[in-house]
Amino acid sequence: MEKAELRPLVLEILRKGPQTHPNAIEHQLKAFAEGYQRHDALKLQEVIWELLVQGLLAPGKNSANLHLPFVHVTEYGARCLEEDALLLYDPDGYLHGLEKRLPAPPDATLLCYVREALSSFLSGRYLAAILALDVASERTVDLLVAAVAGARRDPRERTALRRTVKQAGRSLERRLDAVRPYLAPLPLPAPLKDVPRLDLPSLMTLGRLSRDEEGLPTERSVDRETAHAVLLTFPETCERVFALIEHLGSI
């Protein structure tokens, strides 16, 4: 089995038994994972160590067994379990879920930076995760601008929109402010009416976490909880914005 297959199974085992041992995890895998073979034991160890490094697991099982190889789910890991937020720790599953939300074929540039954001988060580089996701948001806005321009029948309006967005510079917030007046008069179906009001500001939030008013990178400190929350909400926001882009393409 590949690690991508093992990881969600291990997470489910930990959900049911938060105090355990690698041998116990392997025993349960053998019981319900038909594809698991003895030679997969090294990959299983890699998955467990990754969860230790990421802070979902810590050494020890109880006061009588405080050291490895015993492990237990940490307070942070338990919170992830309660909130069903472990998808971040299954990056292949996260990306697959994101791809299912987007029009086919999904944008390769967007997926590239989301993948980098996940990798950075799982390595404990939370500011780097935000920066990568910010670039993914920029890509989303670029595609939205192109879709809005394409929906304008007057070539002069398309030229004016592109000029206004270009003048907005690198600031994601200013670029979105520039495109809003062109979105306002467009007839949007009910499910998409709230995208400019709710989802576009969500994309702007990413810019505020890592850039100044001019859109230039600035010194920031981002904690795990903030990066965690942004990564969890990004797919839903992205889905609605891309639904708007797809609709604009049909006008």
Final residue belonging to a domain, choices 55, 84, 113: 84
The reply to whether 111 and 133 lie within a common domain is yes
Q: How far apart are CA 208 and CA 30, in angstroms?
A: 47
222 and 107 in a common domain: yes
The answer, yes or no, to whether residue 193 has pLDDT greater than 70, is: yes
State whether 237 and 196 are in the same domain.
yes
Those residues whose C-beta lies under 8 Å from the C-beta of residue 239, and which sit 6 or more positions away, are: 101, 102
Residue 176 scores a pLDDT above 80: yes
The separation between CA 141 and the C-alpha centre of its own chain, rounded to angstroms, equals 16
Q: What's the mean per-residue pLDDT of the chain?
A: 89
Q: How many domains does the chain have?
A: 2
Do both 79 and 108 map to the same domain?
A: no
Domain with 56 in it: what CATH number? 1.10.10.10
Calculate the CA dihedral of residues 122, 125, 127, 130 and round it to 10 degrees: -20
Q: State the DSSP string of 150-183.
A: HH-SSHHHHHHHHHHHHHTTT-HHHHHHHHHHHH
Residue 112 and residue 38 in one domain: no
Query: Tens digit of pLDDT for each residue in 98-123?
Result: 999 999 899 999 999 999 999 999 88
Is the pLDDT reported for residue 225 higher than 90? no
Q: How many CB atoms lie within 10 A of CB 185?
A: 7
Residues 245 and 166 in one domain: yes
Q: Are residue 20 and residue 132 in the same domain, yes or no?
A: no
User: Do residues 79 and 141 share a domain?
Assistant: no
Q: Containing domain of residue 68, as a range?
A: 3-84
Over residues 17-71, the pLDDT tens digits come to: 999 999 999 999 999 888 899 899 999 999 999 999 888 999 999 989 999 999 9
pLDDT attached to residue 68: 93
pLDDT at residue number 6: 92
Q: What are phi and psi of 72, to 5 degrees?
A: -145, 155
What is the band of 85 on the pLDDT scale with cuts at 50, 70, 90?
low
C-alpha–C-alpha distance, residues 70 and 66, integer Å: 7
**The pLDDT value given to residue 241:** 95
Amino acid at 237: T
Rounded to whole angstroms, what are the CA distances from 241 to 37, 123, 130, 169, 214?
43, 29, 19, 21, 24
Give the count of beta carbons closer than 10 Å to the beta carbon of residue 108: 8
Shared-domain flag, residues 49 and 95: no
Is the pLDDT confidence value at 240 over 70?
Answer: yes
pLDDT of the residue at 187: 83
Count CA atoms closer than 13 A to 85's CA, side-chain side.
17
What's the pLDDT at 83? 66
Residues 34 and 139 occupy one common structural domain = no
Bridge partner list, 105? none
Of 15, 50, 84, the one marking the end of a domain is 84
How would DSSP label each residue in 203-223?
HHHHHHHHB-TTS-B------
What pLDDT sits at residue 65? Answer: 92
pTM of the shown model: 0.77
Burial class (CB in 10 A: 0-12, 13-18, 19+), 3: middle
Confidence of residue 84 (pLDDT cuts 50, 70, 90): low
My answer on whether 123 and 168 are in the same domain is: yes
Among candidate residues 58, 84, 110, the one where a domain is terminated: 84
3-state percent helix, strand, coil for the chain, nearest multiple of 5: 70, 5, 25
Segment (H or E) for 241: helix 224-249
Question: What average pLDDT does this structure show over 200-229?
Answer: 84
